Structure formats: structure tokens, C-alpha cells
Structure 1
Amino acid sequence: MRRGIILAAVAAGAFASACGGGSGADAASAADAARNAATGVAGTVRDTAGAPIAGAVVSDGQRSATSASDGSYALAERAGTVTLTASRTGYATATQTVGVPKRGSVQVDWALAPTAPPPPSGGAYRVFANNDLGMHCVDRSFAVFSILPPYNVVNAQVVALQASGKPVLLDASQVDLRYAAIADATGSVNSTSKGKTDFWTYAAALYGAALPEGAGLMGLWMPADAPDASGTTLSWDAGLGLFHAPGIPILPIDDAGRTNPYPLLRFSAYDKAGTTLAATDVVLPVSDETSCQNCHATGKVAASEAGIAWSADPDLEAQARQNVLALHDAEHGTALRQQAPVLCASCHYSPALDLAGAGPSPQQALHPTMSSVMHGFHADKVAGLWDAPVPVGGTIPPAAQQACYQCHPGAQTQCLRGAMSSKLACQNCHGDMAAVGGAFPLLAGGSVDGTGDGAPRRPWKDEPRCQSCHANDAVSKTTLASAPPLAADGLRFNEAFRAGDPSASPLLASNRRFAEEPGKLYRHSKGHGGLACEACHGSTHAIWSGNANDDVAATQLQGHAGTIGECSTCHLSPPTMGLGGPHGMHPVGDEWVRAHDSVAEADLAACQACHGTDYRGTVLSRMFATRTLMGRTLTAGTPVGCFHCHNGP
């Protein structure tokens, strides 16, 4: 049964005093009335942050009760099984099925997720929050082995808008940041992790942490499970200079039992008196579509060798996982199948599970990394599966035919989404599986900080960079030997590494207009005004626009999906009419159009980087949204140039 339902006997007398008694014409009806008066349901209706909700209606379809100012309600019911709903304007309707005893009553508490929008974005504060990776994977079951636990990460910033002067970034000495459950447009709510996974059954054996059900590895909880506000409060990470929520134990199953890999949580900023300043609804992508059964189910290509006792478990995923351990035992002389559950990273180091950042243990140092054994070992096992960059103008094969989606989430989840997913695939940035597995030494500049050049790729560290493809503007071009092909727009590289480079070493751009901070990946970099790159562009692997829930945050912040490009998101008054915005942008809107002639007259050539040397527009001058400027309507995606309004520059 879902979290939020508390089943407990309630004294019959207390329930009768709340609901009143009945009377009848004979002894039988009197007995019925007495029994009905002494049976039923009672409880409290709260929101997912724990605040009582008044005026909520709890109903069985025939009878109903309305919650009081403290959220309490009582509803007379006959003994037996009954399905109840709780509803209130501004909240998602919840349903619970409970058993009502013959004597006494049952307590049914509710945690309703709000559907109303967050506090108006027209106020003086903004909350920017993003999942750090664009997707977090989690094991569907932990009974056999574990690769990844329930562990979602969100980074956030709070901006105070100023009537005059620049916006100010706030820290934990000024505001608190907490999260709560929120219904998405389909009514899907994810407020609890209880009853959705066997992680807590095996957490002590796998991770050495005897956790109460619902507790995350780093002390965070899902909103309906948290014992107090500290369980949903973001900490301040001084190293990142961000609010940080490491290890939210969210799962890809909503509270109605439906699969939803893109659930929303609401991140709200509060002043130190507890007043809500602003909020943004943020997707926490999570998927358990990390299956081994395509190859390792009994009888499949990796579980058919004679002489090995393959599993007959009727659960195909459990069967495949047991077969993985059996194959490991046969190949390496281990006894893992008898030692289940097994944490793969106990031998094969994974930075994703090195929560303290301590580096490999002595035991792990004896073995290849998790990334190396998974990608490197399987790289030559994917014959017949597509494992190459998508060529310019090429077609992306279906998910079931792609090497990456055999293990990564996949045909249903499709974790690579957003702005780049229509023309590119994983291999355009990461290279093939052998490259990801570190089979070849990195070229000069290939490691993120320069210290790993000439060595195999370091997993989770030496990753592709934005500047590797976004290396040019219309004037300043990055010139390379063995340069990758240009995309159809003539400005962006179609691949993040040199042509013919088996290591897929990320390129460094000489034009740093779109480059990350030196020595940092995109997800750790900041740009305009100290904002995280992900705050304006979206999460890694999910650059805006993405799917519907990905786009909620951008739409709330600026009024439409896509990259945050509206200056009014952070500036109460229009910024200076120049090129001092992100990546050298100028402001957008009528005020700029009315004043831009003075900027152009002062330095017309400065316009060419984005608007093109012919001033007819490029992909860098596309409209973020459809808008009417000085009486002319330009649709989203239109490359803007001088000739829309003039006969030339």
C-alpha cells in the first residue's frame, strides 16, 4: 500500500463522538446503526510538504466528508473493503483502497500533491534547479546484484532580482531551499519511494548502510516519507557554489503504480522567516530500464554455453542477473552467485558510487573500472548493433537497434532527448563503446583537466564538451587537422572528436564563445552572471527543449520552452543595450529593436558573429519564441537578419 496511508485502530467511542450515532425502529436497525456509527474511516489530509489542507473532500462515491481547518475528517462506513478518493481544487486527486473492520475504524491519512502553479514568477526571486545528468539509472531489483542505487542529484540557485543593478545570487545564509511533490499535467505524482523497490531490504548487505525504508544514502527522503523538513532540504555545496541535493531516492514509479521516468518535484525558496519567495517545478529523470535480459536471459547469446547451470527463475530480469553472476563465476573463478547480493563496484571502481570522492580502494585498484569492464568488454560483442556516429543528414536507427540502448534506458525511456536528439546520437559525442571503455589513450587536450592526456579515458570525468561541437561562430572558426564534418548549418561540428580518432578525444575549440570553464565539464560550469550552464540550457543529455516535463521549468521561468533567453527572467529593468549577455548576446524584444541601430552603426561587424557575414541570419540568430517586433511577426526558429526589416545592413 502506498506511503501516506496509516492503518491503525481508532477507538469506536472517539469515532462515534465525531460522527454522531443513529437510531432505528427495531432492535435490528438499532444494532445496524450502532455498528455503522462505530465503524468508518478517519484521518488527516495534508499536502506533500506536511501542511494541513482544509476543505478537501474524502468520498467513497456515495458518502463524503470534508476536512476541517486542521486537515482532519471522519467518514462513517460499513465494514468491508472500500475505495476512497480525496480531492481538493488545486491538488491532484488521490485514491486509496482500505479495509474497514467490523468494530472500530481505520485511520487513512492523505498527502495530496498540488497541481496549482508555483508562486508567481513575476516576483523578485527566481529558483533555477536542474538534475545534474539528465538521467539517473536505478536497479529494478537489488536481490542479485547492484549497479546503481536510488540516487538522484539536483543542483539549484536562487536569484534575487533588483530594481536597479544586477541580480544577486543568494546562498544558504540568506534562503532555504526545499522540495515537495507536484502533479504533472497527466496527474502523475511521485511523493514516496516506499513500497516501490526492494532496495532497503538489501541496502545493508550491498552498501553497508542499515537504512530505514525511504531514507536515501545521503540522508534525503522523498517528500511524503521525510520525518521532518531536514529530509527535503538542500545543502550548500561550497565547492560548487550551489544548493545541492545529493541522493534523492526517487523511483520511476508514481504513487498510482504507473511507470513515469520523468517525475516532477517542486523546489521552493524560503526566507529565514519561512516565507515562500519563489518556486520552480523540476523533472528528476530516473529509469530502471537497465536490463541485461536481451543477452543474458537463459538461452540467449550470453547464456547458452554448455556446462554452466543457467538460471530457471521465472522472472526474466532476475534470471538474467543470476546468469551474469554464473558467467562471471565460470570465466573468473569467483563464487558470486552464492554471495548474492553483490555490489559490482566493490571490485570495479565507479566514481558514481564514490560518494566521498576517495578514489579506488586497494581492492578496486586491482581490477578495471566499472565503465571499462561494461563498455570495453562488451564493445566487440555488439556485432549487428549500430555503434557509430550519425552522419550529417543521416537517420538515427530505432532504439532497439542501437548498442547503447541495449543497457542504457532505452526503448521506452529514451534518455537522450532534447535539442540534439533529432540529428545526433550518443556516439556523435562519446564515440563508440570501445572509446567509452578507454581502449585507446586520449589525445592531447582530450582529458578534461589536461592531466589524463595520453592515458585511457577516466570514466565520469573525461567526457565530451560543448565546445567540441560548438566551436565556431559565423566569423571565428576553429581550424583543426582531421576536423570532423560540419553539420548542415555550417557552424557546428557533427562529432565531438577528430575524424578517424578511435579514442574519441573531445576537441578543444579555439573560439571559446560556447566553451565550458577551463578544466570543467558542462554540468560543473557557470557562465553569465555566475549562473550554472544547466540553469539556462537544461540538463546534460536533455538540453531544452525536451519532453513535456523537462520543459516545465523553462516555461515557468520565462513563459516558453527552450533555452532561457528572456532577459526579463532575471532583470526587472532592461539590461544595457549592448552585447554583454550570455555568449555575447544582446537583449531581445521591442526595446532592443528600437535601439539597435545605434549599436549597429557603432560596430556593424560585431553583428556578423551571429547574424552572418551576409547579415541574413544564421542558426545562432534564431528566434527563441514567436514574437511580434515593431509590427512584424517572426516565428520561433527563424534566423534573424537585417533583411527582415531593411534592404540590407
Structure 2
Amino acid sequence: MQYPFWELTTYGGGFFIALIAVVHVYVAHFAVGGGLFLPLFESMAYKRDSEPLLAYVKSHTRFFLLLTMVFGGMTGVGIWYTISVLAPQATSTLIHTFVFGWATEWVCFLVEIVALLIYYYRFGKMSRASHLVVGWIYFVAAWLSLFLINGIIGFMLTPGGWLEGGGFWAAFFNPSFWPSLFFRTFMAFMIAGLFGFLTAHRIEDREARETVFRSCALWVSVSIVLAMLSGWWYCSVFPPEAAHRLALRAARITDFYRLIPIFAAGLFVLGAVMMVRLPRGARIALSLILFMLGFGFIGSFEFLREAGRKPYVIHGYMYSNQILPSEVEALDRDGLLATAKWVRPNLLQDGHRVEAGQKLFQLQCSGCHSIGGPMNDIMPLTEKYPVIGMDAKLSGMGTLSPMMPPFVGTPDERMALAEYIVNELHGGKPGNRVFEDVDLPVDIPPFNADTDEYVLLAWNNLGMHCISDSYSEWVLLPPANDIYAQLIRRGDTPQVITQGVTLHYHVQEGFERPAERCLFWKHVKSIFGAQPPDNVGLCGNGLAGEMHLQKEMKSFEASLIPVEPYPEGGGFNPFPIFTVEARDAETGRVLAVTKTVAPTSTEMGCKNCHGGPWAVDDLAGISQPTGRDVLKSHDRLSNTELVKAAQSGKPMLCQSCHPDPVLGAEGQPELLNLPAAIHGFHANFLSGRESEACAYCHPNRPDGPTKCLRGLHASANIGCVRCHGTLEDHALSLLKHEKEKGKPGADRLMLHLKPRMADSVNAINPRLPWMQEPDCRTCHVDPDETPDAFEASAFNVWTADGGQLYRNSPDRTGSMMCIACHNSPHANYPAVNKYGADRDNIGPLQYQGNNRSIGADDNCGVCHFGPVTWDAHHRGRVVPGGGAGEQ
């Protein structure tokens, strides 16, 4: 950051560079091609002894001189001025690298000026042979100017060996030098023909006029074919990463890709049509059309050439914001503002965050983006983001978006820039509403330890079932909660009862009819291919019904219950309570009753980056604008047509393409499984963070309405990272599994992810999501010891398969489920709930009067009648004998 530069806000983003450069390039190519046009047509006039044709050449020379020397010279100076104030660091590099080249080019330009002036002012005043020699001198000097400038321009895209320490010649004769030289030479000839059309209509002699039109038509038609062929050669020498960027064909690049062959075809066809005798007026109209097609052709090419350089201004050496990749590490450590010599020091330290954000925008954004202007307007590109989403977007620049350089600077500088864009440029966006905890009443079912014969334990198998309720757009997870229960007959040797009983469940009042408050049943046929009745889930279970025996787990289960967190009368409650009853199968007598929450939340944070409001009470739910923007992003990045499908009433199930073990979805096997794709993608935008990165998407904001991590680990301040790893590590474990299966998409997402909880990517163990999770016994090695709350970490040690998951694991006896006594993952007893401190602790409160795990604090009497002198439930302890049985 040695040089200050000119920020033009509305007309920033290289607008003036692009405008002046394209006009100048068009005229400059005419200066080269026209240099051949003049002596050839003069020779033709002499051979045909045609005075009208000779008069045309002289008249065309005057037009040529005024346009190329006067106007072209002005635009050339304009380019130097604009690049020096808008891209000073890059301009300095070009000057210092090509001093000899610039000096030589200026000599050639001086020869051009002198030769052209002599050629025009001595027209008819010197011998024909001498005059033609002057014309040829001009052409040679003009073409040598192209030769020299071509090397410098090509260097910016393909610096080649110069990057490895090569000098002037390595930079000049770079890999694209020769194909670019041929391409530009043929393009110059074509443009000379186009300008010939413009002036030919003034020839009064019909035959001379026809000669010029036909000759120019031949020039244009042949030249455009040769230009396209050499253009193909030119593209073949692009650096692989530049070719990849252009192959993405995103945003405006797609338009220019489509336009180039259209312009070329138009030039060839209409150029050939000019060979036919046409009315003078038609020729004039076609000449103007061909002139505009030529301008569009060269302008589109120059845009794609510039796009191929992105995110660099000099490929591989200098980013488009004038920062060198070699400087990034130091600038990230020390801060960008501290290195800019023209920025007031200590802006952030002194609290001047707005000014700091403005300077950071000038340094990192204004080189490419305008503010409300016609060139790369930053406003529509950032309109949807709140501050945390803008910060995430900046964090991910230069990773999965190859057109953008990375953000350079400290995290605090990045946040200052995000605040400036959102709060200053857009006038601010409201943050997430802070949820005030409520204490909803919970009726604890009665239990008499002296007389009751049974204990009924119920639980949800997930600590939180997240629902993506963007049903009109796409679905990630439908409403589908699972309730489990075990019935234990108390005694000296308690028994798990699975025969001769029936278990029933029903949801609390106000949650029985979710179809009245959500669109799932309206779109379920399109998404899942089935049409269950309203308020009935995909497995046929409703909000009340009979549970089914799960023999392997010795438990009863009601699966895929379609409960939603929206009670009648409005509001949001992600913890509806289910009542479970056990009855004698023959008599119908109630044996035991208990209650449990079925945690289910739609507080998924897509809006944090995709815009739109929360759908319900400004607290939760994916609104239609948010869901639609997710599809737009997917379409843009993956060349899909999901928006079109949603608009036609066909929302998409994500797992219809991406495999996913949680739904048993095979999808398209060559694609990344859904958790790997989602976490791998978003990790590139949320790196460098701790557990807060998880809360950006999952319903776990400390000030949010759900707080899904609410169990004992949360109370001990053990967040997501200690089990699952930072988001980078978590994503790498998923992506490594997919990479080992040969899926190419994994490498792209892994490229910029650096592990933080392992020494290297190789040290991270791959895992299959949902089936391989952190193992409790990694920290809880000895049941008699409490793991170190500050040091213990379960990351990188995964269960072997789904059967070893905590939620599927039985105790030592093989009869009692661990989860029955300890409660759901993320909500292990004692859990603290935002909707009532003990809303998650109904079981232990019912049976032992405290919120600890069932049987804790010497409460073995919950199930055991006699004294218990050993622990038959936990692995790792010596067990003399005994334990729970089964009937």
C-alpha cells in the first residue's frame, strides 16, 4: 500500500479504465490494420489507374489520421492517467518491468506519427514509389507497436517464467505472446475493413465504391475466421486456474461467452453480404451495424481476458486490489491499515470504525466495485447481508469464489469493513432478536416409590431435530421427530418389559394440528412422492398413537412424528411435551405414565447470509425469500435450475441429489453426501471461529429461542468444538471420507481448509456423518472419574458405526439404553431449557426428585428394591454379578 489511489464511488470499479481502454483498443487496432489497408488500396488504385479510388484513399487517410493519431493519442493518454490513479501499484510494476519495452514502443510510435504525417501531407506530392514506402514504414512501425504492447498485455495474464525470477525477456515472451499476437493482428485487419465500410459510402463513383465494399467485405470475412482460430489457440495457453475461472461462466461472464460467437457470426455473415450490390442506404446501415458488432466483439474479448486474470491484476503476482499474495500472511497478522502509508494510524484502536471501514473498502474493494454505479456495483451484491453474514462473506473470499481475492487483514478489520458495507452503505440491517427466557408450566407425573410397580422412561433420540421449513422452495429435513420409551418392572432384579404391554403417546394440547400452520402437507407429494393425510408423518404416525416395539433396542418407538414448533394461537415453542403411557395389553390398565420433550426447531440461520426475515415471530423459520436465495446461490454455483423448479411448484429435497445416511438416501452417488457438501462449503466462509460458527446455522445462539446444546456439557462450558472440532476440522473429517471414495468435489472444498485441532489433514480421521460420531468413552474413560472440563476432547475419535452411537448404545447388561437414564444427546441430565429450567428434566424429577441422571446420587431405588452394591450398567467397572434382566 505504497500509493494512494482515486476512489470514484459511483464510477469506480474500473469503469473509466474499461470505458477508455475498450475505445482505445478498438482505435489502436484500427491504427495497425489501417496501416496495411492504406498502402494496399493505394497500390490497387495505381494498378487500376482509378482516380476515384485514389481520391478515396487520400480521404480515408485524413479520417485515419484524425481518428488514430488525435483521438487515439488522447485515449492513450487517458489510459495512462486512469491506471496511474486507480491502479498505481500495478502501473508501477509494469513500468519497472518493461522500461526497455516502453521506450522501444514510444520510438515506434514516434515513427508512426512522422510517417503518417508525411504520408498524408505529401499525398500526390512525391513519387508513387516513395509515397508507398512511407506507407509501408508506417505499417511496420504500427505493427511493431502492437508487437511490443502485446507482450506487456499478455504478461498480465500469463507472466510465465517471470514469476520464477525471470527477467524482461521471460516476461515479454510469455506463454500467450504468440497466439495473442496472431489474434490481435487478424483482429486489426478486420477492424480496418469495418472502418473501410464506414468511409466507402462517400465514394461517388459506383465502380470504385463497389470495389472498396467488396474488398473490405473480404477483409472482414477472412480476418474474423482467422481471428477465431487464433483465439482458440490463445485460450489453450491460459493458466489452468484462469481457464477454470472462465469455465465457471458465472454472472456476466456467461453473457460475454454467449456474445462472442454471436458477434463473430454476425461479422462473418453481414461482412459477406456486403459483397452483394445493395442500395447505398442499406450499405450505410449495414456498415454501422458491422461497426457496432466489431466493437462488441473486441469489447467482449477484452472483458473475458480481464476476467481470466481475476482475482489478479497480474496473474499469480498481484491481486486486483494491488496486494501481493506474498504479503498476505504478514498483513493478516499485523493488519492492513497499519501498512497503508496514507491512512491515519490507529483508526480501530481509537474507535473510528466507520472511517476504518471506509479506508478498508477503498483498499480492498474499490478497485473492482463501484458504489451504486454501472460497473460491478457493490450495492446489489451485498444488499441481503446483515453484519454477521457480510463478515462471513468477506471471510470466504478467495476460497470458493475464484474471481475474488481473499480479504486481507485482521478479523477486527474484516468486521469493520462488514459494518461499513452494511451499516453505512445500506443504512443498517436489524440483528437477530434477543429471546427472553420464559418459564412455561410443566406437570410432573406422580410416582410413588413405595407402591408403584413400574418405571417408564421416555426420550427423544436426538438432542434437537432441526426442520428446514422452506417447503415451497426446498427441504433439508422434514418434520420427523422420534420418541422412544422403555418400561422397567421394579424389583430386586429389575426387568425391562417388552411383552404383554402397549405404549401410547400424544402431544400436548395446541400442537395436534401442525398442517394448519405449515406448508409441509401442501408440498409433500412433490418432495417425497407420498401424500400422507394432514397431521400424519411420512411413517404413518400422527401426533398421537401407539408406539412400536424396537426389538434390538428393547424399546418402544414412534418414528417420524410430524411435530412442529408452532402452537395454536401463534408463537414459537421448540420443546413441545409428549405424554407416554404404558398399558396392560389385555386389560388396558395404565401401568405407568411419563412425559418427555420432543425438541424440534426451525431456528436455522440461513437468513444470516441469504437475507430475508425470520418466518415466525422474528425468531425462527425459513421465509420464502430466504429459501429462494439459497436456490439462487445453488443455481449460480452449480449450474442447476432449482429456482425454475420451485417457481413451477416443484420444490426439491436436497437428498434427491446428495446421498445422506440420516434418510437412507442414495441420491446421485458421485456427489458429495449432504453433510459433507454443506459443512465443507460453509467452512470456507466461517473459518477461524469457535462454537459460534455452529450457531450461525444450527439453533444454538446463546441469545436465541432454542439453544439446542442445553445439557450438562453446556453447563460445563463445553461447546461444539470439543466434540466435533472447529468447523474446518469437522468439515475435513467429512470431506476426507468422500475423497477416499473418489468423489472429485471433495478436493475443491478442502483446498483452502486448514485443520486447527490436528497437525495436518492427514491426521484427521475420516467419518461417515450420522453413523460415526464422537465416542463418549473418549473422555469418560473411567466412570468413577469426571473428565477434565478444560482439557478433555472427543474430536477425531469416532464410533465404528451407527450401532455404537450413544443414542443406540445399551448398558453393560445389554438391556437398558444409556440414553434412557442420561437423556438425549446435547440435552443430557441435568439440562437447562429456555422454556423452563426443568422442562428437559421431567424423568429424573418424576422418579427421584432431582434433575440428575436416573439413579445418580445413590438413587438406585428408582428401579431396585433392595440395596445395590455394584454397578451393572456402566462399562469399565468390575461387576461381581447381577443387573437388569428382560422379560
TM class by smaller structure: 0.5 to 0.7
Aligned to 2:825: 540
Aligned to 2:479: 150
> CA 1:247–1:581 in 2, change beyond 3 Å: closer, same or farther?
closer
When the two structures are superposed, what TM-score results if normalisation uses the length of structure 2?
Answer: 0.41
Q: C-alpha distance in 1, partners of 2:468/2:622?
A: 14
Aligned to 1:12: none
Partner SS state of residue 364, structure 1:
coil
Partner SS state of residue 684, structure 2:
helix
Aligned-pair CA distance for 1:567: 0.9
Aligned to 1:195: 516
Task: State the AA in 2 paired with 1:533.
Answer: C
> CA 1:298–1:265 in 2, change beyond 3 Å: closer, same or farther?
closer
Task: State the AA in 1 paired with 2:502.
Answer: D
Q: Which has the higher helix share?
A: 2
Mapping of residues 286-305 of structure 1, within 5 Å: 286-297=600-611
Mapping of residues 159-174 of structure 1, within 5 Å: 159-162=488-491, 165-171=492-498, 173-174=499-500
Matched, 1:133 2:462: yes
- The counterpart of 1:495, out of the listed 793, 798, 803, is 793
Task: State the AA in 2 paired with 1:337.
Answer: V
Task: State the AA in 2 paired with 1:414.
Answer: K
Partner SS state of residue 403, structure 1:
helix
Contact 2:773 2:799 survives alignment (8 Å): no
Q: C-alpha distance in 1, partners of 2:766/2:799?
A: 16
Aligned to 1:549: 839
> CA 1:372–1:326 in 2, change beyond 3 Å: closer, same or farther?
same
Contact 2:505 2:579 survives alignment (8 Å): yes
Contact 1:118 1:281 survives alignment (8 Å): no
> CA 1:144–1:404 in 2, change beyond 3 Å: closer, same or farther?
same
Mapping of residues 479-518 of structure 1, within 5 Å: 486-487=788-789, 493-497=791-795, 504-506=796-798
Aligned to 1:307: none
Q: C-alpha distance in 1, partners of 2:581/2:828?
A: 23
Partner SS state of residue 421, structure 1:
helix
> CA 1:580–1:143 in 2, change beyond 3 Å: closer, same or farther?
closer
Aligned to 1:110: none
More divergent stretch after superposition (190-199 vs 139-148) = 190-199
> CA 1:252–1:234 in 2, change beyond 3 Å: closer, same or farther?
same
Aligned to 2:685: 381
Contact 1:190 1:264 survives alignment (8 Å): no
1:518-554 CA distances to partner (integer Å, 9 max, x unpaired)? 9611110111552110111111111111132101122
Partner SS state of residue 351, structure 1:
coil
- The counterpart of 1:255, out of the listed 568, 575, 582, is 568
Aligned to 1:218: 539
Matched, 1:427 2:711: no
Matched, 1:208 2:535: no
Mapping of residues 357-436 of structure 1, within 5 Å: 360-361=665-666, 363-383=667-687, 386-387=689-690, 402-410=692-700, 411-422=704-715, 423-436=717-730
Q: C-alpha distance in 2, partners of 1:562/1:329?
A: 49
> CA 1:261–1:571 in 2, change beyond 3 Å: closer, same or farther?
same
Mapping of residues 4-403 of structure 1, within 5 Å: 117-118=445-446, 120=448, 122-162=451-491, 165-171=492-498, 173-182=499-508, 189-223=510-544, 232-272=545-585, 273-297=587-611, 317-340=623-646, 341-354=651-664, 360-361=665-666, 363-383=667-687, 386-387=689-690, 402-403=692-693
- Residue identity over aligned pairs, in percent, reads 32
> CA 1:125–1:259 in 2, change beyond 3 Å: closer, same or farther?
same
> CA 1:542–1:321 in 2, change beyond 3 Å: closer, same or farther?
same
Partner SS state of residue 266, structure 1:
strand
When the two structures are superposed, what TM-score results if normalisation uses the length of structure 1?
Answer: 0.55
1:244-296 CA distances to partner (integer Å, 9 max, x unpaired)? 11111111122332311111111110001111000111111010001311101
Partner SS state of residue 353, structure 1:
coil
1:407-429 CA distances to partner (integer Å, 9 max, x unpaired)? 11133211011101032111110
Larger radius of gyration: 2
Aligned to 1:439: 735
> CA 1:519–1:271 in 2, change beyond 3 Å: closer, same or farther?
closer
Task: State the AA in 2 paired with 1:544.
Answer: Y
Q: C-alpha distance in 2, partners of 1:507/1:366?
A: 25
> CA 1:216–1:118 in 2, change beyond 3 Å: closer, same or farther?
farther
Partner SS state of residue 549, structure 2:
strand
Task: State the AA in 1 paired with 2:669.
Answer: A
Q: C-alpha distance in 2, partners of 1:291/1:586?
A: 47
> CA 1:455–1:474 in 2, change beyond 3 Å: closer, same or farther?
closer
Give the aligned CA root-mean-square deviation in angstroms.
3.2
Task: State the AA in 1 paired with 2:713.
Answer: M
Q: C-alpha distance in 2, partners of 1:319/1:194?
A: 21
Q: C-alpha distance in 2, partners of 1:193/1:118?
A: 29
Contact 2:507 2:579 survives alignment (8 Å): yes
> CA 1:578–1:326 in 2, change beyond 3 Å: closer, same or farther?
closer
Q: C-alpha distance in 2, partners of 1:114/1:495?
A: 35
Q: C-alpha distance in 1, partners of 2:799/2:598?
A: 30
Contact 2:467 2:600 survives alignment (8 Å): yes
Partner SS state of residue 213, structure 1:
coil
> CA 1:528–1:219 in 2, change beyond 3 Å: closer, same or farther?
same
> CA 1:581–1:522 in 2, change beyond 3 Å: closer, same or farther?
closer
Task: State the AA in 1 paired with 2:633.
Answer: L
Partner SS state of residue 502, structure 2:
strand
> CA 1:216–1:120 in 2, change beyond 3 Å: closer, same or farther?
farther
More divergent stretch after superposition (455-464 vs 539-548) = 455-464
Contact 2:485 2:557 survives alignment (8 Å): yes
Q: C-alpha distance in 2, partners of 1:316/1:487?
A: 36
Q: C-alpha distance in 1, partners of 2:448/2:878?
A: 26
Aligned-pair CA distance for 1:580: 4.7
Partner SS state of residue 204, structure 1:
helix
Task: State the AA in 2 paired with 1:377.
Answer: F
Q: C-alpha distance in 2, partners of 1:281/1:540?
A: 17
> CA 1:116–1:472 in 2, change beyond 3 Å: closer, same or farther?
closer
Residues matched between the structures, number: 388
Contact 2:539 2:559 survives alignment (8 Å): yes
1:280-323 CA distances to partner (integer Å, 9 max, x unpaired)? 11111010001311101279xxxxxxxxxxxxxxx983212111
Contact 1:467 1:507 survives alignment (8 Å): no
Q: Which has the higher strand share?
A: 1
> CA 1:335–1:381 in 2, change beyond 3 Å: closer, same or farther?
same
Aligned-pair CA distance for 1:332: 1.6
Contact 1:468 1:507 survives alignment (8 Å): no
Which residues of structure 1 form unaligned runs of 5+? 1-112, 184-188, 224-231, 300-314, 355-359, 389-401, 443-452, 478-484, 498-503, 509-516, 588-598, 600-649
Q: C-alpha distance in 1, partners of 2:773/2:810?
A: 17
Aligned-pair CA distance for 1:138: 1.1
Q: C-alpha distance in 1, partners of 2:528/2:605?
A: 21
Q: C-alpha distance in 2, partners of 1:319/1:472?
A: 50
1:81-139 CA distances to partner (integer Å, 9 max, x unpaired)? xxxxxxxxxxxxxxxxxxxxxxxxxxxxxxxx995735656410111111001110112
Aligned to 1:527: 811
